[in-house]
């Protein structure tokens, strides 16, 4: 009897799904769980091509490649690491050009940055700027 479950493309696995993130989140015991859920909703709402999955043992986000990973070990709140996937890519000497008038990005390298939110109030104050950064970042992936 043929399987009725959906086929995953060769570049995805069961971990590359909202179901996997939902299951992960249901078991997660974390001080900033509500903030993680709010960040998740904001990233997914920033573009129709954005999908989620579990990568590096944390909720992560992708279009054609993974570009953002929740940093669950952040000491002073919750953070998102923005990157260009696992593979090394050629980057111009200037790096990625992202408009960030509110200075949310802390650059870790030319192709990687982090955004830290202290708590839900901090996230809500920065939410619109965060969403604009995500919309710009996915054009680089």
* 4 has a pLDDT exceeding 50: no
**Nearest Cα residue to 73 out of 114, 37, 41:** 114
Contact 119, 77 (CB under 8 A): yes
pLDDT, greater one: 120 or 95: 120
Give pTM, 2 decimals.
0.85
Contact 103, 137 (CB under 8 A): no
CATH number assigned to the domain with residue range 18-137, chosen from the 4 options 3.90.1150, 1.10.3470, 3.30.70, 1.10.1200:
3.90.1150
**Residues 103-126: pLDDT tens digits?**
999 999 888 999 999 999 999 999
Give the whole-angstrom CA distance, residue 35 versus residue 60. Answer: 15
Q: Give the SS3 label for residue 27.
A: helix
- Render the burial of 64-83: b for 16+ CB within 10 Å, e for the rest: eebbbbbbbebeebbbbbbb
**Residues 14-23: pLDDT tens digits?**
778 899 999 9
Average pLDDT of the chain to the nearest whole number: 87
Strands 66-71 and 58-62: antiparallel
Stretch 81-99: mean pLDDT, rounded? 75
């Amino acid at each position: 009897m043929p399987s009725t479950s959906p086929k995953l493309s060769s570049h995805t696995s069961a971990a590359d799904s909202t179901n996997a993130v939902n299951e992960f989140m249901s078991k997660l015991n974390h001080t900033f769980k509500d903030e993680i859920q709010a960040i998740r909703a904001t990233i997914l709402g920033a573009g129709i091509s954005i999908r989620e999955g579990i990568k590096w043992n944390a909720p992560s986000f992708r279009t054609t490649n993974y570009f953002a990973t929740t940093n669950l070990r952040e000491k002073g709140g919750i953070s998102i690491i923005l990157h260009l996937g696992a593979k090394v890519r050629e980057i111009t000497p200037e790096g990625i050009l992202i408009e960030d008038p509110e200075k949310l990005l802390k650059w870790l390298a030319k192709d990687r940055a982090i955004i830290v939110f202290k708590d839900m109030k901090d996230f809500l104050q920065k939410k619109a700027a965060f969403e604009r950064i995500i919309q710009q970042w996915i054009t680089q992936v």
